[in-house]
Every structure is written in structure tokens, then in C-alpha cells.
Amino acid sequence: MKKSLLYLFMLVCSVTLFTGCSDDDDTEFVQVTDISGDYQGRLVVSINGSAAEPVSQLISIVKLGEQNSQVLLSLRNFSFAEQLVGDIEVPCTVVEKDGVQEFSGQKDLSFTTEFGTVLGTLPTSVNGTVEGKSINIKIGVTVTTLNQTVDVVFDGERLVEGESGNTKTYYDFETWVAGVEGQEPEMTFYEPTGWSSSNTGAHFLKAMQKADRYVITQSDDAYSGTSAVKIQSIDTKGSPALGGWIPAIPKITSGSLFLGSFVTDIANTLNSTKFGIPFSQKPVSLKGWYKYTPGEEYYIVNQEPYKDHCNEAVVDNSKTDEFAISAVLYETEDYAEDLSDCLTGVDGEDGIYTSSRVAAIAQLTGGKQESWKEFTLNFDWKKEYDANKKYRFTIICSSSKDGDKFWGAPGSTLMVDNFELTAE
């Protein structure tokens, strides 16, 4: 019973954690320093004064419009006590005092769980500062129904460096967090901090005994440091659709690692990948390291729509699998809380590669590469960059470049490490 209450409380904290940011529409806009960027740091949660072990966390901040005093704070893949509790995107107000940027807010929140349990009003306060590259955040949440006071402290550093007017963001894939904490160790998967993946889909397939592994795993076969990402295409056996809500299960499931969120859509799995995070700069280039081993037997689906016939894949001996590493910047009218503005893996206007909203794209595809190889991608601009518009940005790494067609080879393995994104 105590464990259930703890999990329930973790869910409450995750939903309410940053909603205390100010929603005062009458706040006067003042000129403050731009604090947008990615911040990597340490998060510590205390319950009634008892602190949990610190965890590594990434927090992103982007401007909302032209004023630096209005920002969107994004915390993706937030984990509490090794439990993934979701993505959070909240607008906040910033003021500047003596060269230090401060943001704060408070709000009384009413919350009801998905099971209908009413937890009452949760007074929540948020206070944060940015000084140079350093950020500090303190959050206080009072959970009256459980007689608990929660204090959250985050200390981090901005992951950008100035260089000839440009900024750089580094992804070293050294820190991983639990995605889904399964009841059995083999049903727990992990993801690099700040990234999402198709592991969530593989998790369901494992539970149905259609998969024997996850598609994204941590590897010590790194270009540098101690950790890299292993992305694999796997054999998920395939089976026809069952009734109205269980779709056809593919023969081949490719691995995808990306910036964004995975929100399960059983009816159309390609709609589950919500690509893109809020982004307020003009991307210039993406560098990194990779190596790739294609699987032995390549499968294709001969009939469209591919998702409805994905279980009917057949071997095509004339083809060899290839990987894809892509970076895409696209326009959005607003940052929807339900991520409905995100482009996905589907085809057409809502597709990450086919939408008219795409402003710029960079992509690398290729075959076998036994040793670590460096790559540099420059962007092909479809539209002129406009600093007054809102954008989302994503990086997508796929072990089978045609995985959206459910084509690929079981065992195809893409390794990636040490990404460097340059923007201006």
C-alpha cells in the first residue's frame, strides 16, 4: 500500500512540478537577457526533509516571441525514484536584477488521478535564477491529502559555448535514465537523458512476447567516454490485426532515437513518435560519430498502406539495410501541451519528412561502417529562417532508414556517440 501511494505521489509531482510558473497576464514586459538554451544538471527531490539520491536531468528553455521575459521551460523524460513520469512544457516569466535573471511563480492546483482519486488543492511555488551559464531552481509542493511537503532542487550548467557568434550544444550520451520501470529487470528500459525512443513500443511487444530485446540500449563500445547508444532493428515476428483495437504487429521493428516524445497510439504506431522540441535558434550543422552493421536478411512489405500489412513482410535478397541520421527544423503556430503540433512518423502534411512546415533538413544515410567514423551535416533550407516564428527541432537516428515502411533487416545496428549541434 505504501509503495502504491509513493507511485501515485510521484505522478502527482510530475504533473504539478513546473505548473507554478506565473500566469499573470498583466506582467509588464521588460528587457532581460536571453536565457534560452539547454541546461544539464543534478535534480534532488526531498519528501518531508528526506532527500532521494540525485539524478541527472536536462531542462530546456526557449523564448516565446520577441521578448526575452517570456520563455517556455521544457523538462523531458523526467524521472522520479527511477520512474518515468513524462514530459513537461510550461511558459514562465523572467525578470533581471543586477545581471541575474530570475523567474518565479506560484499556483494552487487541483488534481484528480486517472483512477478518479481527488488529491485536493496542491499549493506549488517555483523560484529560479540564471547567472551566466549556471541555473538554480527550487520548487515547493504541498500535498495536503498525504501530509507531505516536497522540495525539489535543480542545479545545472548551460550546454552552449560561444564561438564566432554561434552556440554549440553537446550530447555525449553518458547519462541514462529509466524509461519504463518494469516489475521484472528485463522489462525495464533506459534512454539517454533528454532523448526519447521507440523503446516504449518495443516494451509493449516484449510484454506480448513478440520481441526479445529493446531497440535502444546503452553500450560501453563508445567513441570516447564510457557510453554510446546502440540502435537496433529487431524481429517482432508479425501477426495480423485482432479486432478493432489491436493492429497488425510488424515482422520488422526498427530502432529510433530522437529529440521529442513518444506517446503511444495503438491505432497508428507511426503517430506515436512526436518529433521535435521547442527551439529558438537557427541550426547550422550537426556533427557526430557513428558506425553501422546491416542485418543479414532484408524484409519489405509489398502492399500499401504498409502499416496494415506490416506483418506480411517478405525477404528481398536484392536489398541491404541502411541507417539514417536526420536533423529537422519545422514551424509551429504554438507549443501545444498535448504535443498535437508535433510532426510524426506518418506520411503527408503531419509527417516529419513530408510536411510543408519543414523549414530545414539535414540527413545522412549509408551502409556498413565497421569502425567509428565522423560525420558533419549541413542544412538544406526549404524556407528562410524567421526569428519571429516558433520552431521545433529534432534529431532522429534510425537503424533502418525505411523503418517507417516496416522495411529492414533484423540485427541491423547503428552506434552513435558525441553529437555536437551548432546554431546561431
Residue range 307-329, pLDDT digits in tens: 889 889 999 999 999 999 999 99
Lowest mean pLDDT among 120-124, 322-326, 352-356, 404-408: 120-124
Confidence bin at 356 (pLDDT 50/70/90): very high
Q: How confident is the model at residue 112 (pLDDT cuts 50, 70, 90)?
A: very low
Q: Mind listing the pLDDT tens digit for each residue in 38-80?
A: 787 776 778 788 887 666 567 788 888 777 888 887 766 655 4
Instruction: Judge contact between 197 and 262, C-beta under 8 A.
Output: yes
Cell of 372: 567509428
As a whole number of angstroms, the distance between CA 379 and CA 391 comes to: 15
Specify the 3-state DSSP secondary structure of 310: helix
Read off the pLDDT of each residue in 148-163 and give the average, rounded to a whole number: 70
- For the segment 89-94, the average pLDDT, to the nearest whole number, is 80
Stronger pLDDT, 136 or 140, i.e. the higher one: 136
Which amino acid does the sequence have at 9? Answer: F
Q: Let me know: does 35 contact 96? Beta carbons within 8 Å.
A: no
Cell numbers for 26, please give them. 498583466
DSSP 378-394: E-EESS---TTSEEEEE
Closest CA to 406 of 186, 237, 261, 218: 237
The pTM of this model reads 0.66
Q: What is the rounded CA–CA span in Å between residue 334 and residue 341? A: 7
Helices (H), 284-378: none
CA distance 325 to 191: 17
How far apart (Å, rounded) are the C-alpha atoms in residues 59 and 394?
Answer: 16
175 phi and psi angles, rounded to 5 deg: -110, 130
